[in-house]
């Protein structure tokens, strides 16, 4: 007794189903192809869309969507944060890094004597935001300026150069201009971060050591959302003490948008599976009608209704599995192209891409199972004497 | 073994009728199948066709009964009842003393598988299966592939097809197909073999081979055989001929070898 026969003996329904499928080859191939198309439609659209979404999310995240920006709210007594406030925020957000800054603006006196407005960020240490590309920031940072990569590049500023800046202060008697000269000690690395470019000065230069903006930097947009939530809970219970701003709402909007479009397209793909289901049902119905007497004989020699149903369902599922397997292979290739295109790596499958692929196969097989149900039920319920009377 | 029509013996109770015959006195317990006043009606639209009009029968091991009669007289209907493929409208059919009408469809399927083998006029082999697999077919879902294969091979050798095991039905002649079908009907060691015109599509020589095979099976395995036939030479071989006319058993008279076997 051969091993093959022993294995076949274990799965007799599969053997019978396989033989029956190869009996009407063209019809079987067409039915499987219809499932294939559905699986490719759902899988490729879903996985490709997931790659696109991922690439968009990544670029949004690079723009600072993982940060939460906090400024004093309408109900806060002072219009600035002091060290105590910053400490309270720090405690609330847990592990996330907290960077307190005071934004401002100054006028740069260029070499030809003209004045040019520049944005200035007063901060304890610029390295909290960006790494240093050139130069170094002294431990006791005073009286010198750190410039962003973009600033240095735009204006051809070199390390060691002295920048002449003019600040304006409002006093009772009018606007007073003060001129400062700062030596450039460091250039920061390039960043795409929102509000990144400009000059960085020590917080002491504000004179009052007060901050009006706090950036909370987190690992992900989800964390950022949680942090924003925690801050609102803690500080804005009854009063609006903080103005909490995060890009996560934007991310959420994008996610819903892309997910919606993706689901819609995958839904369109599902229609092709529906058509495939009709095709499988038709194929099985024809098979059952053609094999009417054969099924009658099976019933006569002792096959129960359930046996007949199972044999025919195995056959339908086999058709679906065949189409789904080939469809999956094609969808994976398409998804890999999308991954390479959007994410730069053909194997960068996101979790939702894998879910779409698995779902497409699952639906493909489920569709054929459901499509096979009626023909199988019909065949099983025909009385053998009726089938055999011809 | 008895074959009676209720009205052929007048008002006499069937039990008495059966007692008249030697061998049956031992009791109905020996019988594989027994029918009492079996009636079968078909409803077609508003019309009711009475295909069988109150028939009594009993089949004992190794009986060979031929059912003959004109077309439409109810032969196939009777065979279906014997094969538990259908239940009577009136009267009772019992398998080894158990009333068939108390069985569920699933019960009947199970009993049919265990006790009864079928041979059809047009063979009904499954074209996608080889001769060997066709013979195995009734037992394919049992988890005993090795045992089944041995038995199937033995049966095919027995019907003279030991060299055609891996042939597909369309590679076999009519007589060979019918022999495969007979081997298939024997795979579950049935007590009763039902054949609806098994020689109808065969020439005389091939038909004779089938008959010889029947004889062997009765002698060696005590299989009872009931066959519907239009062929006179088949009826001649039978222990008893049941002549069915319009749903009633006519007194056949031509009973060739009554009591010659088993009963
Ligand atoms: N399913 C059915 N519905 C209605 N009438 C039926 C049905 N089956 C059989 N009959 C009728 O019952 C009668 C007996 O039919 P049956 O098939 O038993 O005849 P038969 O003796 O086998 O004939 P043949 O020699 O032609 O095969 C016929 O009049 C037939 O029309
Ligand atoms: Mg007939």
Question: What does the alpha-carbon distance between residue A98 and residue A91 come to, in Å, rounded to a whole number?
Answer: 10
In a domain, A296, yes or no: yes
Report for A9-13, A192-196, A232-236, A323-327: range of highest mean pLDDT: A323-327
pLDDT, one tens digit per residue, over A180-230 is: 888 999 998 887 665 556 888 888 887 777 888 888 888 877 888 888 888
pLDDT at B62 over 70: yes
Q: Which atom of ligand 1 is nearest to the CA of B69?
A: 21
B165 at A interface, C-beta within 8 A: no
Which of A6, A25, A297, A390 would best serve as a mutation to test chain B binding (most B beta carbons within 10 A)?
Answer: A297
Strands B98-99 and A67-72: unpaired
CB distance A312 to A284 below 8 Å: yes
| The pLDDT of residue B60 | 93
Does residue A376 share a domain with residue A327?
Answer: yes
**Annotated domain spans of chain B:** 61-88+105-254
Residue B99 to chain A, least CA–CA distance (Å): 19
Which of B119, B142, B145 would best serve as a mutation to test chain A binding (most A beta carbons within 10 A)?
Answer: B145
Does residue A268 share a domain with residue A216?
Answer: no
pLDDT, one tens digit per residue, over B156-183 is: 998 889 999 999 999 999 889 999 999 9
Question: What does the alpha-carbon distance between residue A22 and residue B120 come to, in Å, rounded to a whole number?
Answer: 26
| The pLDDT of residue B254 | 46
Q: Which residues pair with B34 in a beta bridge?
A: B58, B94
pLDDT at B77 over 90: yes
In a domain, A7, yes or no: no
**Residue B252 — pLDDT band, cuts 50, 70, 90?**
low
pLDDT at B116 over 90: yes
Classified as helix, coil or strand, A110 is coil
In a domain, A5, yes or no: no
pLDDT at B138 over 50: yes
Does residue A292 share a domain with residue A149?
Answer: no
pLDDT, one tens digit per residue, over A99-141 is: 888 888 888 888 788 888 888 888 888 888 888 888 888 888 8
**Residue B7 — pLDDT band, cuts 50, 70, 90?**
very low
| The pLDDT of residue A304 | 92
Q: Which atom of ligand 1 is nearest to the CA of B78?
A: 18
Does residue A377 share a domain with residue A342?
Answer: yes
Q: Please give the mean pLDDT across all residues of chain B.
A: 84
pLDDT, one tens digit per residue, over A338-381 is: 999 999 999 989 898 999 999 999 999 999 999 999 999 999 99
- Mean pLDDT (whole number) for B48-59: 92
Q: Give the ipTM.
A: 0.83
CA B98 to ligand 1 centroid distance, Å: 27
CA B229 to ligand 2 centroid distance, Å: 9
DSSP A173: T
Does residue A229 share a domain with residue A267?
Answer: no
Does residue A144 share a domain with residue A30?
Answer: no
In a domain, A3, yes or no: no
Residue identified by tokens 């519907």 is B228
In a domain, A350, yes or no: yes
Classified as helix, coil or strand, B178 is helix
Phi, psi angle pair for A201, to nearest 5°: -125, 155
CA B94 to ligand 1 centroid distance, Å: 22
Question: What does the alpha-carbon distance between residue B189 and residue B32 come to, in Å, rounded to a whole number?
Answer: 14
pLDDT at B41 over 90: yes
Does residue B77 have its Cβ closer than 6 Å to ligand 1?
Answer: yes
Does residue A335 share a domain with residue A240?
Answer: no
| The pLDDT of residue A345 | 92
CA A294 to ligand 1 centroid distance, Å: 21
Does residue B2 have its Cβ closer than 6 Å to ligand 1?
Answer: no
pLDDT at B257 over 50: no
Q: Which of A137-146, B50-59, B224-233, B238-247 has the lowest mean pLDDT?
A: A137-146
Question: What does the alpha-carbon distance between residue B243 and residue B249 come to, in Å, rounded to a whole number?
Answer: 6
Residue ranges with CB less than 5 Å from ion ligand 2: B 76
In a domain, A310, yes or no: yes
Does residue A70 share a domain with residue A27?
Answer: no
With DSSP H G I counted as helix, E B as strand and the rest as coil, what are the percentages for chain B, rounded to 5?
A: 35, 25, 40
Percent of chain B with pLDDT over 70: 84
pLDDT at B13 over 70: no
Beta-carbon contacts of A158 under 8 Å, excluding residues fewer than 6 positions away, are A152, A184
Q: pLDDT: is B149 or A77 the higher one? A: B149
Q: pLDDT: is A11 or A321 the higher one? A: A321
Which residue is closest in CA terms to ligand 1's atom 30?
B72
Q: pLDDT: is A247 or B238 the higher one? A: B238
Question: What does the alpha-carbon distance between residue B167 and residue B171 come to, in Å, rounded to a whole number?
Answer: 6
B64 at A interface, C-beta within 8 A: no
In a domain, A2, yes or no: no
- Give the count of domains, chain A: 2
The last residue of one of the domains, among A222, A246, A270, is A246
| The pLDDT of residue B169 | 95
| The pLDDT of residue B14 | 39
Beta-carbon contacts of A18 under 8 Å, excluding residues fewer than 6 positions away, are A318
Question: What does the alpha-carbon distance between residue A130 and residue A307 come to, in Å, rounded to a whole number?
Answer: 70
B141 at A interface, C-beta within 8 A: yes
Residue B88 to chain A, least CA–CA distance (Å): 13
| The pLDDT of residue A62 | 73
Does residue B71 have its Cβ closer than 6 Å to ligand 1?
Answer: yes
The last residue of one of the domains, among A195, A228, A246, is A246
Phi, psi angle pair for A187, to nearest 5°: -115, 130
pLDDT, one tens digit per residue, over B195-228 is: 998 888 888 888 898 899 899 889 988 899 999 9
Q: Please give the residue range of the domain that contains residue A40.
A: 12-61+253-389
Does residue A259 share a domain with residue A191?
Answer: no
Q: Please give the mean pLDDT across all residues of chain A.
A: 87
Does residue A35 share a domain with residue A131?
Answer: no
Angle made by CA atoms A342, A346, A347, in degrees to the nearest 5: 120
Does residue B124 have its Cβ closer than 6 Å to ligand 1?
Answer: no
pLDDT, one tens digit per residue, over A32-89 is: 999 999 999 999 999 998 898 888 888 877 777 788 888 888 877 777 888 888 888 8
pLDDT at B18 over 70: no
Give the residue numbers in A contacting B (CB under 8 Å), as ranges.
1, 5-6, 8-10, 12-13, 16, 19-20, 22-23, 293-294, 296-305, 307, 383-385, 388-389
pLDDT, one tens digit per residue, over A159-185 is: 888 888 888 877 788 888 888 888 999
In a domain, A231, yes or no: yes
Does residue A76 share a domain with residue A49?
Answer: no
Does residue A195 share a domain with residue A171?
Answer: yes
Q: pLDDT: is B255 or B224 the higher one? A: B224
- Mean pLDDT (whole number) for B190-194: 94
| The pLDDT of residue B16 | 38
Q: pLDDT: is B44 or B29 the higher one? A: B44
**Residue A3 — pLDDT band, cuts 50, 70, 90?**
confident
| The pLDDT of residue B260 | 40
Which is the CATH superfamily of the domain at B61-88+105-254? P-loop containing nucleotide triphosphate hydrolases (3.40.50.300)
| The pLDDT of residue B259 | 42
Strands B248-250 and B192-196: unpaired
């Amino acid at each position: 007794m051969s091993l093959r026969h022993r294995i076949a003996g274990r799965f007799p329904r599969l053997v019978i189903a396989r033989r029956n499928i190869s009996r009407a080859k063209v019809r079987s191939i067409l039915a499987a192809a219809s499932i294939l198309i559905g699986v490719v439609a759902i899988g490729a659209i879903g996985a490709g869309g997931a790659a696109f979404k991922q690439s968009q999310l990544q670029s949004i995240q690079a723009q600072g969507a993982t940060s939460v920006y906090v400024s004093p709210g309408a109900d806060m007594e002072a219009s600035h944060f002091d060290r105590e406030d910053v400490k309270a925020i720090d405690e609330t957000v847990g592990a996330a890094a907290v960077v307190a800054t005071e934004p401002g603006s100054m006028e740069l006196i260029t070499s030809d004597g003209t004045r040019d407005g520049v944005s200035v960020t007063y901060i304890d240490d610029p390295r909290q935001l960006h790494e240093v590309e050139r130069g170094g920031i002294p431990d006791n940072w005073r009286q010198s300026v750190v410039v962003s990569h973009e600033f240095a590049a735009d204006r051809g500023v070199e390390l060691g150069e002295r920048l002449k800046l003019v600040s304006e202060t409002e006093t009772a008697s009018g606007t007073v201009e003060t001129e400062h000269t700062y030596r450039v000690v460091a250039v920061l690395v390039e960043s795409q971060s929102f509000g990144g470019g400009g000059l960085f000065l020590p917080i002491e230069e504000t004179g009052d050591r007060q901050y009006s903006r706090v950036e909370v930097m987190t690992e992900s947009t989800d964390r950022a959302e949680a942090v924003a939530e925690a801050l609102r809970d803690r500080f804005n219970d009854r009063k609006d003490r903080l103005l909490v701003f995060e890009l996560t709402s934007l991310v959420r909007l994008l996610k819903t948008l892309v997910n919606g479009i993706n689901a819609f397209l995958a839904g369109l793909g599902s229609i092709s599976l529906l058509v495939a289901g009709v095709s499988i049902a038709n194929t099985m119905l024809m098979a059952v009608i053609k094999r009417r007497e054969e099924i009658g004989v099976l019933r006569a020699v002792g096959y129960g209704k359930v046996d007949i149903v199972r044999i025919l369902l195995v056959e339908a599922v086999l058709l679906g599995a065949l189409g789904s397997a080939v469809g999956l292979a094609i969808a994976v290739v398409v998804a890999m192209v999308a991954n390479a295109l959007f994410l730069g790596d053909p194997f960068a499958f996101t979790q939702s891409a894998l879910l779409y692929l698995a779902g497409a196969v699952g639906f493909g097989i489920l569709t054929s199972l459901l499509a096979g149900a009626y023909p199988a039920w019909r065949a099983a319920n025909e009385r053998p004497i009726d089938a055999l009377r011809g | 073994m008895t074959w009676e029509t209720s009205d052929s013996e007048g008002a006499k109770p069937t039990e008495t009728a059966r007692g008249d015959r030697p061998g049956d006195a031992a009791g109905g317990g020996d019988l594989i199948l027994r029918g009492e006043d079996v009636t079968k009606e078909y409803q077609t639209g508003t019309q009711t066709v009475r295909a069988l009009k109150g028939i009594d029968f009993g089949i004992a091991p190794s009986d060979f009964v031929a059912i003959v009669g004109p077309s439409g007289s109810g032969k196939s209907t009777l065979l279906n009842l014997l094969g538990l493929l259908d239940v009577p409208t009136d009267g009772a059919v019992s398998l080894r003393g158990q009333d068939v009408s108390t069985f569920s469809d699933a019960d009947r399927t199970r009993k049919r598988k265990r006790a009864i083998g079928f041979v059809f006029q047009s063979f009904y082999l499954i074209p996608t299966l080889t001769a060997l697999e066709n013979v195995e077919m009734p037992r394919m879902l049992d988890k005993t592939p090795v045992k089944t294969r041995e038995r199937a091979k033995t049966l095919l050798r027995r019907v003279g097809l030991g060299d055609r095991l891996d042939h597909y039905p369309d590679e076999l002649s009519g007589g060979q197909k019918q022999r495969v079908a007979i081997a298939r009907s024997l795979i579950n060691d049935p007590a009763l073999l039902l054949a609806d015109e098994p020689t109808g599509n065969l020439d005389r020589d091939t038909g004779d081979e089938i008959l010889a095979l029947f004889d062997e099976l009765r002698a060696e395995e005590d299989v009872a055989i009931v066959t519907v036939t239009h062929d006179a030479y088949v009826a001649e071989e039978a222990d008893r001929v049941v002549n069915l006319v319009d749903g009633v058993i006519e007194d056949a008279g031509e009973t060739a070898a009554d009591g010659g076997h088993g009963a």
